[in-house]
Structure 1
Amino acid sequence: MGSGYQVTEFAHKFIEEQVKHGDICIDATAGNGNDTEFLCRLVGTTGRVYAFDIQKEALEHTASRLRENGLEERATLLLCGHEYLKETIEKERKKQEKQGGKEEISCVVFNFGYLPGGDHTLGTKAKTSVCAIEQGLKLLKKGGMMSLCIYSGGDTGFEERDTILEYVRTLDSRKYLVICSSWYNRENHPPIPVQIYKL
């Protein structure tokens, strides 16, 4: 493990243990497609990944990445804010039910902040992010997991970080297990990985 060990690598270790072939997953912040690609590999040919982003540029990057790796058939890309996550997934669920499929969500992944290399004024916001987490938790099946990578400082400030951490602290411990980790000896406000398991 090198000194450049990234928060996403850490998160992927937990996601890898959770997601199996045939699972349905959500990447609530597609960005450049790193998590979408990772999830598509895990769900296999019988699973599905729904990837959300409000920026067309982000979804174009994601689509290109999936095409290059032969994974485009496993994903549905949605140009949509994640605050509409539940209603959007429920529409997709109805489509699948008509085809005899069942849309139980095994894993929801968030990377909060802004698109790497993109416009820093278009980052995620505290209010809509908490709304999206809340909706994602409702969609998760029992035994399912949510992964949060929370970036703060710089252009994004600390409001979103503090709001998200306060919200997950209040989740009912009889229904959810919340694990919050930290890069304890790194300076300059390192990202915070959080895993939430639905009991």
Structure 2
Amino acid sequence: MQNALSYSHQLLKEVLQPGDLAVDATMGNGHDTLFLAQLVGRTGHVYACDLQEQAIQNTKKRLEEAGLLSRATLLLTGHETLDQYLPEKELKGAIFNLGYLPQSDKAIITQPETTLLAIQLLLDRLSRKGRVVIVCYYGHSGGLAEMEQVRQFCKQLSQKEYAVLNYQFINQQNQPPLLFCIEKK
């Protein structure tokens, strides 16, 4: 069985093709941005955002080392503002890793209000069979509340328009991450 992170990549790998538009809504250290840049190829593009300059620098370095910086636009902004930057092209895939930037200030965390706004704006741009993947790390202050609000948001989505998957190991200690995948029908 795959952990939440590797399964999130599998879910996006199944839908993203060269030429597609993808979003990393929580850039962090750039692992997902790099993964998406590889999937969309030379003709696709990734928009990645984060509130911390450290995330931008870490991601830029990672993409430069892989020779893929030209495939991504790195934005120092909150994910709730992505609609101001995305082109008028349909989105094929997006990923969120909710929580905090590893090896940084753990007081700076994603917030449910902005996360839900960002998820909705990405769903509004999502193409048919496109996916928004949300990995919730909730073992920190505020994390459980955010995860529950994301769960409630996902539960209320119309089953005629979306299929929503919830994936989690339930017999592991230390709050293993929980994954949601929203696919537009």
Category of TM-score, reference length = shorter chain:
over 0.9
1:143 paired residue among 120, 129, 152: 129
Alpha-carbon distance between aligned partners in 2 of 1:34 and 1:7, rounded to the nearest angstrom: 14
* Alignment-derived partner of residue 171 in structure 1: 157
Q: Tell whether 2:115 aligns with 1:129.
A: yes
Aligned length: 185
* Alignment-derived partner of residue 179 in structure 2: 193
| C-alpha contact 1:21 1:46 (8 A) present in aligned 2 | yes
- 1:107-162 Cα deviation digits (max 9, x unpaired): 01111000011111111011111111111100111221111101102344411011
Alpha-carbon distance between aligned partners in 1 of 2:140 and 2:110, rounded to the nearest angstrom: 14
Matched residues, percent identical?
A: 38
Higher Rg of the two aligned structures: 1
Per the normalisation by structure 2, the TM-score is 0.96
2:54 paired residue among 52, 57, 60: 57
* Alignment-derived partner of residue 97 in structure 1: none
What does 1:33-182 align with in structure 2 at a 5 Å threshold? 33-89=30-86, 92-93=87-88, 103-182=89-168
Alpha-carbon distance between aligned partners in 2 of 1:135 and 1:179, rounded to the nearest angstrom: 19
CA displacement at 1:168 relative to structure 2:
0.6
Alpha-carbon distance between aligned partners in 1 of 2:140 and 2:56, rounded to the nearest angstrom: 25
Q: What stretches of structure 2 of length at least 5 have no aligned partner? A: none
What do you get for the CA RMSD once the two structures are aligned? 1.2
What does 1:16-27 align with in structure 2 at a 5 Å threshold? 16-27=13-24
